[in-house]
Amino acid sequence: MNAPFPSTPAVSDGDPRLPLKLLIAAPRGFCAGVDRAIEIVERALQKYGAPVYVRHEIVHNRYVVDSLKAKGAIFVDELDEVPDDAPVVFSAHGVPKTVPAEAERRKMLYVDATCPLVSKVHRQAERQIEKGQHILFIGHAGHPEVIGTMGQVPEGRITLVETVEDVAKLDFSPDDALSYLSQTTLSVDDTREIIRALEERFPQIVAPKAEDICYATSNRQAAVKQIAASCDLVLVIGAPNSSNSLRLVEVADRMGTEARLIQRADEIDPSWLEGVGTVGLTAGASAPEKLVREVVDRLSDWRLVDEEIVTSAEENMIFKLPRQLTE
């Protein structure tokens, strides 16, 4: 049951603003992989000078991308847009094997900012192929991470599975050697259902040694679950192409709480707050804390905000930078 809005809210010392309880989820925002990817671009700019090219958005956040552009980064879609003698960074989502192979063929200076947890999935895919298994990959078609992971193995050795319904359509027999992997930024609950369906249909399927959904994705979803039931509205800061941010909206929706995805505070419509006494606030793994504070300030323009941090987990993960940027 969502928290009811008080019928006779207290007004503080003549202030016309109504009170608003703001539950801020923790953990939220930047994860270790995003921190590392952004620092890689910044270190590359310091070491090699501008411009440094970046293949695809380094992370899915317009504010971050624009900030790096202002420092001298140039974002491109493909390597053929990058001069041979210019440094290039590959995004945190990972790339197919053909991309570094092409960079090496052209003798380009490149830095791979693929999140180490995504790289772990890439290595698992290689090992499963070496064992003669066909991989059923759980993910969203067209997402850069999915394209990158599926590009680690020979064509025809991996099949994308997006939904439980897809499992019923798979054309494999009980004698086929199968394994599964998943995108790191999926819904924990949805992925569990798909895995259950895969294991029921193909009892011989081999699971990865550890869950592929990353700690940050799991933690942010769990944090939303902890606050959503107490809220009338949940605001998620993230980009519309950010998989992990979209999943946070879904988590709140499924708990019966209205949720809205916003990129910046200026997207908030004050009408959303009508009849609302408690708002939940979180941010996807690519959204900086500065954007969270912007939202708090914006809400404070309209309401007397009482902030409360609700912590469901502590995060202390740090990933090392590539050696070429630290030597």
Task: Give the model confidence (pLDDT) of 169-190 as tens digits.
Answer: 999 999 999 999 999 999 999 9
Do 18-30+215-311 and 116-212 show the same overall fold?
yes
- What is the distance between the alpha carbons of residues 276 and 297, in angstroms, rounded to a whole number? 17
> 145, 211, 289, 294: which one is catalytic?
145
pLDDT score recorded for residue 2: 38
Domain ranges of the chain: 18-30+215-311, 32-112, 116-212
Gyration radius from the chain CA atoms:
22
Per-residue pLDDT of the chain (327 residues; tens, 9 = 90+): 333 333 334 445 678 999 999 999 999 999 999 999 999 999 999 999 999 999 999 999 999 999 999 999 999 999 999 999 999 999 999 999 999 999 999 999 999 999 999 999 999 999 999 999 999 999 999 999 999 999 999 999 999 999 999 999 999 999 999 999 999 999 999 999 999 999 999 999 999 988 899 999 999 999 999 999 999 999 999 999 999 999 999 999 999 999 999 999 999 999 999 999 999 999 999 999 999 999 999 999 999 999 999 999 999 999 999 999 998
Strand partners, 138: 161, 182
Which residue in this structure is represented by tokens 């070491």?
A: 47
Assigned CATH topology for domain 32-112: Rossmann fold (3.40.50)
134: β partners: 178
- 18-30+215-311 has CATH 3.10.580.10 classification: no
Residue 81 annotated to the active site: no
Query: Going along the chain, which residue ranges are E strands?
Result: 18-26, 52-55, 73-76, 88-90, 110-112, 134-138, 158-161, 178-182, 233-237, 258-262, 278-283, 303-311
Give 116-212's CATH code, choosing from 3.40.50.300, 1.10.10.10, 3.40.1010.20, 3.40.50.620.
Answer: 3.40.1010.20
SS (H, E, C) 252-288: HHHCCCEEEEECCHHHCCHHHHCCCCEEEEEECCCCC
pLDDT for residue 13: 63
